[in-house]
Amino acid sequence: MKIIIIGATGTIGSEVVKALLQNKHEVVRASRNGEVKVNLDDPASIRGLFDKIQGVDAVVSCAGNAAFKPFAELTDADYELGLRSKLMGQVSLARIAKDHLRDGGSIVLTTGVLAMHPMLGSASISMVNAGLEGFVRAAALEMPRGIRINAVSPPWVKETMIKFGMDPSPGQAAADVAKAYLAAVEGRRQGQVLDPRLVQA
Amino acid sequence: MKIIIIGATGTIGSEVVKALLQNKHEVVRASRNGEVKVNLDDPASIRGLFDKIQGVDAVVSCAGNAAFKPFAELTDADYELGLRSKLMGQVSLARIAKDHLRDGGSIVLTTGVLAMHPMLGSASISMVNAGLEGFVRAAALEMPRGIRINAVSPPWVKETMIKFGMDPSPGQAAADVAKAYLAAVEGRRQGQVLDPRLVQA
């Protein structure tokens, strides 16, 4: 399959690229500052991506930002960041991709464990992740031409925990998280939120 | 308890008012064009409400709009409506109420069954409702001074179904939905999403 991956240089994205290449897919790496440029916050940039890269079977997003800070300190701008970037950036990707992917194509978005299992500081991220999961469940009912849409909800990733000075032992390695993206792209799931700790194929 | 109810003139809100009065609470009815005015889309209007009405124990929101239409027809403005009104309007209410309610106070927001059980046309509403549920679960962890926050997720309401020309038999009467709001205000739940078909007290 010909697959665009957005956020291809990130901790998870780079492992998803490896996993897709290993399964002999043709991979187009897209990111804000990479080989192929795209900015999910800007629908025109997403449309430009699909104009440039034709005949795409699947698009995987490992992109999107949201603010993590104590509830009492979250500002309007913090909420706005998550809404514009991680939530509506990926919603825009799905809205545009559905008109450009080949018949039977696949859209895979990224939410996160905080959607259903919040922690101190996650009010904005939990809102954004849960909202995206609600969107995926609903949009799946109306995808045209056999196109599928799913989300992967990564747990804490070992590499990220190490970067933040946290104990990585309860986390999952990014390479294992990547397997859930592969399952979402290649399988027959529709409207699902995949937990990489539970889904391997 | 002294309780502000926002959206007090709506199908559900008017029944919540009745239920609260029946349990001898002091009720302040607020709405866009009512006795006491408030517009959830405007944080200044929410702050004005709490400046005017002091010593409040609980605030209940039965307010907020979002667009319901086929996925392929949802516009940027449709998504924006749900984000600004039903999602961030109620998030703003929670952010402001936490600084104004009495110790041990209660915040009750409204999501809806489409968060977890989507249907054709619900992509934006499902996103907004699910996002609000994620917010409530997370914000509950950081509420100060014993303040509780919960959401009620109403099923289809008989009165609304009749208004839309639908068969009301699978719906729940607004007066029964209202009992879940009462349970959320009076009980000890924290960070819960209440399904009025399952929760009566």
> How far from B32 is each of A25, A182, B29, B106, CA to CA, in Å?
55, 49, 10, 22
Residue of A nearest to B80 (CA): A88
| B130·A130 Cβ contact <8 A | yes
In B56-196, which ranges are continuous DSSP H helix? 76-82, 88-97, 123-139, 158-163, 174-186
Say which amino acid occupies B81. Answer: L
Write out the two tokens for A99. 């008109």
- List, run by run, the mean pLDDT of 10-residue segments along chain B (201 residues): 96 97 97 90 96 97 95 97 97 98 98 97 98 98 98 96 94 96 96 91 56
Among partner residues B70, B95, B139, which is closest to A142 by beta-carbon distance?
B70
Element (H, E) at B2: strand B2-6
Residue B85 gets which letter from DSSP? I
Dihedral (CA of B133, B135, B138, B141) sign: negative
Write out the two tokens for B44. 């200044």
Write out the two tokens for B52. 């005017």
| B142·A123 Cβ contact <8 A | yes
- Cβ A112 vs Cβ A131: under 8 Å: no
Residue pLDDT tens, chain A, 201 long: 999 999 999 999 999 999 999 999 999 999 988 879 999 999 999 999 999 999 999 999 999 999 999 999 999 999 999 999 999 999 999 999 999 999 999 999 999 999 999 999 999 999 999 999 999 999 999 999 999 999 999 999 999 999 999 999 999 999 999 999 999 999 999 999 999 999 865
Residues 6 or more apart in contact with residue A68 via CB below 8 angstroms: A121, A122, A124, A125
Residues, chain B: 201
Inter-chain contacts counted by CB atoms under 8 A, chains A and B:
121
| B137·A120 Cβ contact <8 A | no
**pLDDT at position A85:** 96
Distance from CA of B136 to the nearest CA of A (A): 8
**pLDDT at position B199:** 85
Write out the two tokens for A105. 């194509």
- Cβ A124 vs Cβ A78: under 8 Å: yes
- Chain B residues whose CB is inside 8 A of the A191 CB are 118
**pLDDT at position B157:** 96
Q: What is the 3-state secondary structure (H, E, C) of A59-122?
A: EEECCCCCCCCCHHHCCHHHHHHHHHHHHHHHHHHHHHHHHHCCCCCEEEEECCHHHCCCCCCC
CA–CA gap between residue A56 and residue A100 (Å, rounded): 7
Q: Which residues of A touch B (CB under 8 A)?
A: 43, 70-72, 74, 76, 79, 83, 87-88, 91, 95, 98, 114-116, 118-135, 137-144, 191
**pLDDT at position A200:** 61
Among partner residues A79, A133, A139, which is closest to B123 by beta-carbon distance?
A139
- Chain A residues whose CB is inside 8 A of the B115 CB are 134
- The DSSP bridge partners found for residue B107 are B59, B149
Distance from CA of B175 to the nearest CA of A (A): 27
